[in-house]
Amino acid sequence: MTATLIDGKAIAAGLRAEVAARVKSFHAKAGRLPGLTVVLVGDDPASEVYVRNKGIQTREAGMISDEIRLPGSISQAELLAVVRKLNEDDAVDGILVQMPLPKQIDANAVIAAIDPAKDVDGLHPVNAGKLAQGMKALTPCTPLGCMILLEKSGVKVAGSNALVIGRSILVGRPVAALLLAANATVTIAHSQSRDLAALCRQADIVVAAVGRPELVRGEWIRPGACVLDVGINRMPGEGGKSKLIGDVHFASAREVAGQITPVPGGVGPMTIACLLQNTLTAACWRSGIDPETV
C-alpha cells in the first residue's frame, strides 16, 4: 500500500484565498483592514526568510503588514516597551514576535507581555489556558494547520487513537488539546517516553513534532494510519546546498500509512496561512464582529 500524499501547499493556498475573500467582507463591515505586525530581533537567516514570507502573504491576503526590526543587542526592557506600544496601537490586530530571541531576552516574559487579544501566535498563557479548557481562543498556527489538514483530507478524528510526539507549547501541547477537543483519544509522547514504536503502532493519527530527522520509522506505523510530519530538519544536501528532512522516515512510512504529509510541502505551508486566519479572527473579535459572518 502506498499512502495518499496530503498536499499542504495546495490546501494552504486554498486557505489563503479564503482568508483574502473574507478580508474583503471584513473591510466592508468594519471599514478598515486587519493589521499584522511582526517583530524581528537580530539577524537569524532562517527568521529573515520566515518574516519576509509572512509579509508577502499578509499583503497578498489584502491585510496591512508591518515589520519592526530590532538589533540583536536589544535589552529586555526595550523589547517589552515595543510590545506595549503595539498593544496600545488600535490599527494593530496581530502581534508576532519572531522566535528564537537572543540569549539576554526571556521569551516567556515577552509572550506574556503581548495583549492576548492580539496574540496571533496563540502562545500567551491566557490563550493556552482557554485552549486547554476548550474555550474559544487564538490558537497556535501550526497545530491549527494540522487540524485543517486532517479535516480537508477526510480523516475521522472523533474516536480515533491519536499520538502526538513532542510536548512543546508551540506544537505538541496545543495540537494534543485540539485533537482532544475533536474527541480523539490522545497520547502525548516526549523525550522520556518508553517504547515510542509501541505507542505508534496503536495510533490511527500520528503527529510528529520532535526535531529529530527520520525518528519515526515506517515499521512503527499502523497500516492505514494518517501521519502528519511537523518536523523541519535542515540537513546537508547535494552540491553544498541544504535540504529539509522531516521527523518521519518518509520512504518507509509512505509504504504503510494511509495518508502522509511530505516535508517540505506538508504541514509547513499551513503555518503562515493559519497566521493570516488568526489575524482576521483577532481583527473580527476586536471589532465586535463574529468571524463566522465574514
Q: Which is nearer to ligand NAD, 27 or 167 (CB)?
A: 167
Choices 129-137, 148-156, 237-245, 264-272; region in contact with ligand NAD by CB under 6 A: 264-272
- 248 touches ligand NAD (CB under 6 A): no
Choices 101-109, 116-124, 205-213, 278-286; region in contact with ligand NAD by CB under 6 A: 205-213
CB 137 within 8 A of CB 127: yes
CB 127 within 8 A of CB 116: yes
β-pairing, 35-41 vs 94-97, is parallel
- Kindly tell me which residue out of 138, 165, 216, 280 binds ligand NAD, with binding defined by CB under 6 A: 165
CB 260 within 8 A of CB 229: yes
User: At a CB cut-off of 8 Å and minimum separation 6, what does 24 contact?
Assistant: 62
Span between the terminal Cα atoms of the chain, in Å: 42
Alpha-carbon gap, residue 123 to 96, rounded angstroms: 10
Residue found under cell 490558537: 139
CB 207 within 8 A of CB 160: no
Residue found under cell 473580527: 284
98 is catalytic: yes
- Kindly tell me which residue out of 61, 162, 163, 232 binds ligand NAD, with binding defined by CB under 6 A: 232
Residue found under cell 480537508: 152
**Which one of 57, 98, 259, 277 is the catalytic residue?**
98
- 101 touches ligand NAD (CB under 6 A): no
- 122 touches ligand NAD (CB under 6 A): no
Helix then strand then coil, % of the chain, to nearest 5: 45, 15, 40
121 is catalytic: yes
- 172 touches ligand NAD (CB under 6 A): yes
Choices 14-22, 105-113, 160-168, 276-284; region in contact with ligand NAD by CB under 6 A: 160-168
- 167 touches ligand NAD (CB under 6 A): yes
C-alpha torsion angle, residues 53, 57, 63, 66 (rounded to 10): 10
Q: Which is nearer to ligand NAD, 140 or 284 (CB)?
A: 140
Q: How many residues does the chain have?
A: 294
- 196 touches ligand NAD (CB under 6 A): yes
- Kindly tell me which residue out of 35, 116, 231, 262 binds ligand NAD, with binding defined by CB under 6 A: 231
- Kindly tell me which residue out of 4, 76, 185, 233 binds ligand NAD, with binding defined by CB under 6 A: 233
- 168 touches ligand NAD (CB under 6 A): yes
Q: ∠ CA 161-218-184 to the nearest 5 degrees?
A: 10
- Kindly tell me which residue out of 47, 187, 193, 252 binds ligand NAD, with binding defined by CB under 6 A: 193
**Which one of 119, 121, 229, 247 is the catalytic residue?**
121
Residue ranges in contact with ligand NAD by CB under 6 A: 142, 165-168, 170-172, 189-191, 193, 196, 209-212, 215, 230-233, 267-268, 271
Hey, which residues are catalytic here?
54, 98, 121
